[in-house]
Structure 1
Amino acid sequence: MLLDTPICNFGWKAPDFTLGDPEGRAFTMSEYLGEKGLLVAFLCNHCPYVQAIADRLAEDANTLLDEGIGVLAVMSNDYHAVPIDRPAYMQRFAAEAGWRFPYLVDEHQTVGQAWGAVCTPDFFGLNADGGLQYRGRLDNARLDASADRTRELVDAMRQIARTGQGPKQQMPSMGCSIKWRNSGF
Protein backbone atom coordinates (compact mmCIF):
# COMPACT_ATOMS: atom_id res chain seq x y z
CA MET A 1 0.00 0.00 0.00
CA LEU A 2 1.40 3.39 -1.05
CA LEU A 3 1.43 6.02 1.71
CA ASP A 4 2.67 9.57 2.16
CA THR A 5 4.30 10.77 5.36
CA PRO A 6 2.36 13.22 7.56
CA ILE A 7 3.17 16.92 7.67
CA CYS A 8 6.15 17.74 9.88
CA ASN A 9 5.22 18.24 13.54
CA PHE A 10 7.88 20.89 14.20
CA GLY A 11 9.53 20.53 17.61
CA TRP A 12 8.14 17.05 18.40
CA LYS A 13 10.67 15.44 20.73
CA ALA A 14 11.99 12.18 19.33
CA PRO A 15 11.98 9.33 21.86
CA ASP A 16 15.42 7.84 22.45
CA PHE A 17 16.05 4.23 21.52
CA THR A 18 18.71 1.55 21.53
CA LEU A 19 18.59 -1.03 18.74
CA GLY A 20 21.00 -3.58 17.35
CA ASP A 21 22.33 -3.94 13.85
CA PRO A 22 22.15 -7.35 12.11
CA GLU A 23 25.41 -8.35 13.82
CA GLY A 24 24.00 -7.53 17.26
CA ARG A 25 25.98 -4.32 17.94
CA ALA A 26 23.86 -1.85 19.92
CA PHE A 27 23.35 1.76 18.81
CA THR A 28 21.67 4.44 20.92
CA MET A 29 19.99 7.33 19.12
CA SER A 30 21.01 9.99 21.67
CA GLU A 31 24.68 9.08 21.15
CA TYR A 32 24.32 10.00 17.46
CA LEU A 33 22.43 13.22 18.11
CA GLY A 34 25.25 15.72 17.76
CA GLU A 35 25.43 19.49 17.62
CA LYS A 36 24.47 19.39 13.93
CA GLY A 37 21.45 17.12 14.36
CA LEU A 38 20.52 13.64 13.24
CA LEU A 39 18.67 12.00 10.39
CA VAL A 40 16.69 8.88 11.31
CA ALA A 41 15.39 7.00 8.27
CA PHE A 42 12.85 4.19 8.42
CA LEU A 43 13.78 1.82 5.60
CA CYS A 44 13.42 -1.79 4.51
CA ASN A 45 14.84 -4.07 1.84
CA HIS A 46 11.77 -5.11 -0.15
CA CYS A 47 10.10 -1.76 -0.87
CA PRO A 48 10.54 -0.64 -4.50
CA TYR A 49 10.66 2.99 -3.32
CA VAL A 50 13.62 2.26 -1.03
CA GLN A 51 15.28 0.17 -3.74
CA ALA A 52 14.87 3.04 -6.22
CA ILE A 53 16.55 5.58 -3.93
CA ALA A 54 19.13 3.34 -2.24
CA ASP A 55 22.11 4.65 -4.21
CA ARG A 56 20.99 8.29 -3.96
CA LEU A 57 20.42 7.84 -0.24
CA ALA A 58 23.97 6.48 0.12
CA GLU A 59 25.33 9.54 -1.69
CA ASP A 60 23.26 11.99 0.35
CA ALA A 61 23.93 10.25 3.67
CA ASN A 62 27.66 10.28 2.92
CA THR A 63 27.43 14.03 2.34
CA LEU A 64 25.70 14.48 5.70
CA LEU A 65 28.10 12.20 7.55
CA ASP A 66 31.09 14.01 6.03
CA GLU A 67 29.60 17.30 7.28
CA GLY A 68 29.19 15.98 10.84
CA ILE A 69 25.45 15.26 10.69
CA GLY A 70 24.50 11.87 12.16
CA VAL A 71 22.55 9.25 10.22
CA LEU A 72 20.78 6.14 11.50
CA ALA A 73 18.36 3.82 9.69
CA VAL A 74 15.69 1.65 11.31
CA MET A 75 13.93 -1.37 9.78
CA SER A 76 10.59 -1.79 11.57
CA ASN A 77 8.83 -4.21 9.21
CA ASP A 78 7.63 -7.56 10.52
CA TYR A 79 10.38 -9.58 8.87
CA HIS A 80 8.73 -12.84 9.91
CA ALA A 81 5.96 -11.98 7.43
CA VAL A 82 8.33 -10.37 4.89
CA PRO A 83 11.40 -12.65 4.85
CA ILE A 84 13.44 -10.43 2.49
CA ASP A 85 13.56 -7.86 5.33
CA ARG A 86 15.31 -10.31 7.70
CA PRO A 87 18.52 -9.06 9.35
CA ALA A 88 20.78 -11.26 7.19
CA TYR A 89 19.33 -9.61 4.07
CA MET A 90 19.51 -6.16 5.66
CA GLN A 91 23.27 -6.45 5.95
CA ARG A 92 23.65 -7.49 2.31
CA PHE A 93 21.23 -4.81 1.03
CA ALA A 94 23.06 -2.06 2.95
CA ALA A 95 26.45 -3.23 1.65
CA GLU A 96 25.22 -3.38 -1.95
CA ALA A 97 23.73 0.11 -1.62
CA GLY A 98 26.94 1.49 -0.12
CA TRP A 99 25.34 2.65 3.13
CA ARG A 100 27.92 3.78 5.71
CA PHE A 101 25.33 4.44 8.42
CA PRO A 102 24.02 1.86 10.91
CA TYR A 103 20.97 -0.06 9.66
CA LEU A 104 19.13 -1.22 12.78
CA VAL A 105 16.60 -3.96 13.48
CA ASP A 106 13.39 -2.87 15.25
CA GLU A 107 12.46 -6.46 16.13
CA HIS A 108 9.50 -5.58 18.36
CA GLN A 109 8.44 -2.59 16.21
CA THR A 110 8.38 -0.35 19.28
CA VAL A 111 10.60 2.34 17.77
CA GLY A 112 8.59 2.58 14.56
CA GLN A 113 5.38 2.83 16.56
CA ALA A 114 6.77 5.38 19.06
CA TRP A 115 8.00 7.55 16.22
CA GLY A 116 4.80 7.25 14.19
CA ALA A 117 6.62 5.91 11.14
CA VAL A 118 4.15 5.13 8.38
CA CYS A 119 6.12 4.09 5.31
CA THR A 120 9.47 3.24 3.86
CA PRO A 121 11.24 5.51 3.31
CA ASP A 122 10.19 7.80 6.16
CA PHE A 123 12.76 10.49 7.04
CA PHE A 124 12.94 12.29 10.39
CA GLY A 125 15.37 15.24 10.55
CA LEU A 126 16.17 16.26 14.12
CA ASN A 127 17.97 19.31 15.43
CA ALA A 128 20.63 19.15 18.17
CA ASP A 129 17.90 19.21 20.84
CA GLY A 130 16.17 16.15 19.34
CA GLY A 131 13.29 18.23 18.01
CA LEU A 132 11.74 17.23 14.69
CA GLN A 133 12.45 19.74 11.93
CA TYR A 134 12.07 17.70 8.74
CA ARG A 135 9.64 14.98 7.65
CA GLY A 136 9.94 15.12 3.90
CA ARG A 137 11.26 13.29 0.90
CA LEU A 138 14.82 12.56 -0.21
CA ASP A 139 14.63 14.60 -3.40
CA ASN A 140 12.36 15.60 -6.25
CA ALA A 141 13.46 12.71 -8.49
CA ARG A 142 11.10 10.16 -6.87
CA LEU A 143 11.65 6.80 -8.60
CA ASP A 144 13.69 8.40 -11.39
CA ALA A 145 17.43 8.17 -10.78
CA SER A 146 17.88 11.40 -12.72
CA ALA A 147 21.18 13.19 -12.11
CA ASP A 148 19.31 16.50 -12.28
CA ARG A 149 17.66 16.47 -8.86
CA THR A 150 17.13 18.80 -5.94
CA ARG A 151 18.59 17.21 -2.81
CA GLU A 152 15.77 18.31 -0.49
CA LEU A 153 16.82 16.12 2.45
CA VAL A 154 20.46 17.25 2.30
CA ASP A 155 19.42 20.90 1.98
CA ALA A 156 17.01 20.56 4.93
CA MET A 157 19.57 18.83 7.16
CA ARG A 158 22.19 21.46 6.31
CA GLN A 159 19.70 24.19 7.27
CA ILE A 160 18.91 22.36 10.53
CA ALA A 161 22.64 22.03 11.27
CA ARG A 162 23.13 25.79 10.73
CA THR A 163 19.98 27.20 12.32
CA GLY A 164 18.28 24.46 14.35
CA GLN A 165 15.17 24.98 12.19
CA GLY A 166 13.95 23.04 9.18
CA PRO A 167 12.39 24.47 6.04
CA LYS A 168 8.74 25.46 6.39
CA GLN A 169 7.84 24.00 2.99
CA GLN A 170 8.34 20.24 2.83
CA MET A 171 7.14 17.63 0.36
CA PRO A 172 6.10 14.35 1.97
CA SER A 173 8.02 11.17 1.37
CA MET A 174 6.07 8.35 -0.20
CA GLY A 175 6.57 4.64 -0.05
CA CYS A 176 5.31 1.24 1.05
CA SER A 177 3.39 0.97 4.29
CA ILE A 178 5.28 -0.40 7.28
CA LYS A 179 4.36 -4.04 7.72
CA TRP A 180 3.09 -4.16 11.30
CA ARG A 181 2.82 -7.49 13.04
CA ASN A 182 -0.74 -8.83 13.00
CA SER A 183 -1.89 -6.03 10.71
CA GLY A 184 -3.15 -8.32 7.97
CA PHE A 185 -1.34 -6.41 5.26
Structure 2
Amino acid sequence: MVSLQTPVCDFGWKAPDFSLPGVDGKTWSLSEVAGPNGTLVMFICNHCPYVKAIRTRLVRDLNELKAMGVNAVAIMSNDPSDYPEDSFDNMKAVAAEFSFPFPYLFDESQAIAKAYGAVCTPDFFGFNGQLELQYRGRFDESRKETAPEGVRRDLFEAMREVADTGRGPAEQIPGMGCSIKWKDE
Protein backbone atom coordinates (compact mmCIF):
# COMPACT_ATOMS: atom_id res chain seq x y z
CA MET A 1 0.00 0.00 0.00
CA VAL A 2 1.56 3.23 -1.17
CA SER A 3 0.64 6.41 0.71
CA LEU A 4 0.63 9.50 -1.48
CA GLN A 5 0.07 13.22 -0.97
CA THR A 6 -2.17 15.33 -3.17
CA PRO A 7 -0.71 18.13 -5.32
CA VAL A 8 -1.17 21.81 -4.47
CA CYS A 9 -4.52 23.36 -5.45
CA ASP A 10 -4.61 24.66 -9.04
CA PHE A 11 -7.00 27.57 -8.36
CA GLY A 12 -9.55 28.15 -11.12
CA TRP A 13 -9.03 24.79 -12.87
CA LYS A 14 -12.37 23.74 -14.37
CA ALA A 15 -14.06 20.51 -13.27
CA PRO A 16 -14.16 17.88 -16.04
CA ASP A 17 -17.61 16.50 -16.82
CA PHE A 18 -18.47 12.84 -16.30
CA SER A 19 -21.26 10.35 -16.83
CA LEU A 20 -20.97 7.49 -14.36
CA PRO A 21 -23.26 4.82 -12.90
CA GLY A 22 -24.27 5.28 -9.28
CA VAL A 23 -25.09 2.71 -6.62
CA ASP A 24 -28.66 4.10 -6.76
CA GLY A 25 -29.13 2.77 -10.31
CA LYS A 26 -28.89 6.25 -11.90
CA THR A 27 -26.22 7.57 -14.24
CA TRP A 28 -24.90 10.89 -12.93
CA SER A 29 -23.20 13.82 -14.65
CA LEU A 30 -21.36 16.80 -13.17
CA SER A 31 -24.27 19.18 -13.86
CA GLU A 32 -26.66 16.89 -11.95
CA VAL A 33 -24.50 16.88 -8.81
CA ALA A 34 -23.30 20.50 -8.92
CA GLY A 35 -24.40 22.71 -6.03
CA PRO A 36 -25.32 26.40 -6.40
CA ASN A 37 -22.53 27.48 -3.99
CA GLY A 38 -20.01 24.69 -4.54
CA THR A 39 -19.38 21.10 -5.52
CA LEU A 40 -17.10 18.59 -3.86
CA VAL A 41 -15.83 15.76 -6.08
CA MET A 42 -14.24 13.05 -3.93
CA PHE A 43 -12.31 10.00 -4.98
CA ILE A 44 -12.84 7.35 -2.31
CA CYS A 45 -13.10 3.57 -2.05
CA ASN A 46 -14.30 0.97 0.43
CA HIS A 47 -11.10 -0.80 1.54
CA CYS A 48 -8.72 2.12 2.22
CA PRO A 49 -7.97 2.76 5.93
CA TYR A 50 -7.63 6.52 5.25
CA VAL A 51 -11.22 6.57 3.92
CA LYS A 52 -12.56 4.27 6.65
CA ALA A 53 -11.09 6.65 9.27
CA ILE A 54 -13.28 9.57 8.10
CA ARG A 55 -16.53 8.07 6.74
CA THR A 56 -18.73 9.02 9.71
CA ARG A 57 -17.35 12.59 9.82
CA LEU A 58 -17.57 12.89 6.04
CA VAL A 59 -21.31 12.17 6.14
CA ARG A 60 -21.76 14.66 9.01
CA ASP A 61 -19.83 17.43 7.22
CA LEU A 62 -21.48 16.90 3.85
CA ASN A 63 -24.95 16.98 5.39
CA GLU A 64 -24.02 20.36 6.93
CA LEU A 65 -22.48 21.66 3.68
CA LYS A 66 -25.55 20.63 1.69
CA ALA A 67 -27.57 23.12 3.76
CA MET A 68 -25.10 25.81 2.55
CA GLY A 69 -25.64 24.95 -1.12
CA VAL A 70 -22.56 22.74 -1.47
CA ASN A 71 -23.27 19.37 -3.08
CA ALA A 72 -20.95 16.39 -3.22
CA VAL A 73 -20.29 13.28 -5.24
CA ALA A 74 -18.03 10.32 -4.46
CA ILE A 75 -16.28 8.39 -7.22
CA MET A 76 -14.66 4.96 -6.80
CA SER A 77 -11.95 4.42 -9.44
CA ASN A 78 -10.00 1.47 -8.03
CA ASP A 79 -9.70 -1.76 -9.99
CA PRO A 80 -11.94 -4.13 -7.98
CA SER A 81 -10.40 -7.24 -9.60
CA ASP A 82 -7.46 -6.83 -7.20
CA TYR A 83 -9.55 -5.31 -4.37
CA PRO A 84 -12.89 -7.19 -4.15
CA GLU A 85 -13.93 -4.99 -1.20
CA ASP A 86 -14.24 -2.17 -3.77
CA SER A 87 -16.75 -4.04 -5.98
CA PHE A 88 -19.95 -2.31 -7.10
CA ASP A 89 -22.05 -4.50 -4.78
CA ASN A 90 -19.83 -3.56 -1.84
CA MET A 91 -20.07 0.11 -2.86
CA LYS A 92 -23.86 -0.22 -2.56
CA ALA A 93 -23.49 -1.82 0.89
CA VAL A 94 -21.12 0.90 2.19
CA ALA A 95 -23.31 3.72 0.82
CA ALA A 96 -26.32 2.20 2.58
CA GLU A 97 -24.47 1.44 5.85
CA PHE A 98 -23.23 5.04 6.19
CA SER A 99 -26.32 6.69 4.61
CA PHE A 100 -24.20 8.60 2.09
CA PRO A 101 -25.93 11.96 1.43
CA PHE A 102 -24.31 12.06 -2.04
CA PRO A 103 -24.19 9.85 -5.14
CA TYR A 104 -21.51 7.13 -5.04
CA LEU A 105 -20.31 6.43 -8.57
CA PHE A 106 -18.17 3.75 -10.22
CA ASP A 107 -15.42 4.90 -12.61
CA GLU A 108 -14.78 1.45 -14.08
CA SER A 109 -12.61 2.70 -16.97
CA GLN A 110 -10.63 4.97 -14.58
CA ALA A 111 -10.91 7.74 -17.21
CA ILE A 112 -12.50 10.20 -14.76
CA ALA A 113 -9.81 9.70 -12.10
CA LYS A 114 -7.23 10.37 -14.83
CA ALA A 115 -9.14 13.45 -16.09
CA TYR A 116 -9.13 14.89 -12.55
CA GLY A 117 -5.55 13.86 -11.83
CA ALA A 118 -6.69 11.97 -8.74
CA VAL A 119 -3.79 10.24 -7.01
CA CYS A 120 -5.14 8.70 -3.82
CA THR A 121 -8.14 7.80 -1.69
CA PRO A 122 -9.45 10.02 -0.36
CA ASP A 123 -8.71 12.81 -2.84
CA PHE A 124 -10.87 15.94 -2.54
CA PHE A 125 -11.60 18.46 -5.30
CA GLY A 126 -13.59 21.42 -3.96
CA PHE A 127 -15.13 23.64 -6.65
CA ASN A 128 -17.01 26.92 -6.36
CA GLY A 129 -20.42 27.64 -7.93
CA GLN A 130 -18.72 28.20 -11.31
CA LEU A 131 -17.03 24.76 -11.02
CA GLU A 132 -13.59 26.34 -10.58
CA LEU A 133 -11.21 24.47 -8.27
CA GLN A 134 -10.75 26.16 -4.88
CA TYR A 135 -9.69 23.31 -2.56
CA ARG A 136 -7.39 20.30 -2.93
CA GLY A 137 -6.50 19.62 0.67
CA ARG A 138 -7.04 17.12 3.43
CA PHE A 139 -10.25 16.24 5.23
CA ASP A 140 -8.75 16.78 8.70
CA GLU A 141 -5.79 15.46 10.73
CA SER A 142 -6.98 11.85 10.32
CA ARG A 143 -4.58 9.42 8.72
CA LYS A 144 -5.16 5.65 8.90
CA GLU A 145 -6.77 6.29 12.30
CA THR A 146 -9.51 8.78 13.01
CA ALA A 147 -8.13 12.01 14.47
CA PRO A 148 -9.30 12.99 17.98
CA GLU A 149 -12.61 14.81 18.40
CA GLY A 150 -12.41 18.58 18.09
CA VAL A 151 -9.63 18.81 15.48
CA ARG A 152 -9.90 21.48 12.79
CA ARG A 153 -12.35 20.46 10.07
CA ASP A 154 -10.10 21.49 7.15
CA LEU A 155 -12.38 20.38 4.32
CA PHE A 156 -15.56 21.64 5.99
CA GLU A 157 -14.05 25.07 6.78
CA ALA A 158 -12.63 25.41 3.26
CA MET A 159 -15.91 24.51 1.56
CA ARG A 160 -17.87 26.81 3.88
CA GLU A 161 -15.51 29.62 2.79
CA VAL A 162 -16.07 28.63 -0.86
CA ALA A 163 -19.85 28.69 -0.32
CA ASP A 164 -19.64 32.16 1.28
CA THR A 165 -17.05 33.83 -0.97
CA GLY A 166 -16.50 31.66 -4.05
CA ARG A 167 -12.85 31.27 -3.05
CA GLY A 168 -10.96 28.67 -1.06
CA PRO A 169 -8.25 29.29 1.54
CA ALA A 170 -4.80 30.25 0.23
CA GLU A 171 -3.14 27.88 2.72
CA GLN A 172 -4.08 24.23 2.28
CA ILE A 173 -2.58 21.12 3.86
CA PRO A 174 -2.25 18.32 1.28
CA GLY A 175 -4.44 15.29 1.66
CA MET A 176 -2.91 11.86 2.12
CA GLY A 177 -4.19 8.41 1.32
CA CYS A 178 -3.72 5.09 -0.42
CA SER A 179 -2.70 5.18 -4.06
CA ILE A 180 -5.47 4.62 -6.59
CA LYS A 181 -5.33 0.98 -7.69
CA TRP A 182 -4.78 1.43 -11.44
CA LYS A 183 -5.50 -1.35 -13.91
CA ASP A 184 -2.51 -2.90 -15.64
CA GLU A 185 -2.06 -1.09 -18.93
Which category of TM-score, normalised to the shorter sequence, fits these structures?
A: over 0.9
Q: 1: distance between equivalents of 2:95 and 2:118?
A: 20
| Residue correspondence of structure 1 range 76-115 to structure 2 within 5 A | 76-115=77-116
Contact persistence 2:141–2:147 (CA under 8 A): no
1:181 alignment partner in structure 2: 183
Contact persistence 2:68–2:163 (CA under 8 A): no
RMSD value, Cα = 1.3
Q: Give percent identity, aligned residues only.
A: 51
Secondary structure at 2:53's aligned position in 1? Answer: helix
The one of 154, 157, 160 aligned to 1:158: 160
Q: 1: distance between equivalents of 2:156 and 2:11?
A: 18
Secondary structure at 2:54's aligned position in 1? Answer: helix
Contact persistence 1:38–1:126 (CA under 8 A): yes
State the AA in 2 paired with 1:67.
M
Contact persistence 1:137–1:152 (CA under 8 A): yes
Secondary structure at 1:73's aligned position in 2? Answer: strand
Secondary structure at 1:124's aligned position in 2? Answer: strand
TM-score by length of structure 2 reads 0.94
Matched residue count: 183
Deviations 1:150-182 (A, max 9, x none): 111111111111111100000111000000110
Report the more deviating stretch, 139-148 or 150-159.
139-148
Contact persistence 1:139–1:151 (CA under 8 A): yes
Contact persistence 2:33–2:39 (CA under 8 A): yes
TM-score by length of structure 1 reads 0.94
User: Which segments of 5 or more consecutive residues in structure 1 lack a partner in the other structure?
Assistant: none
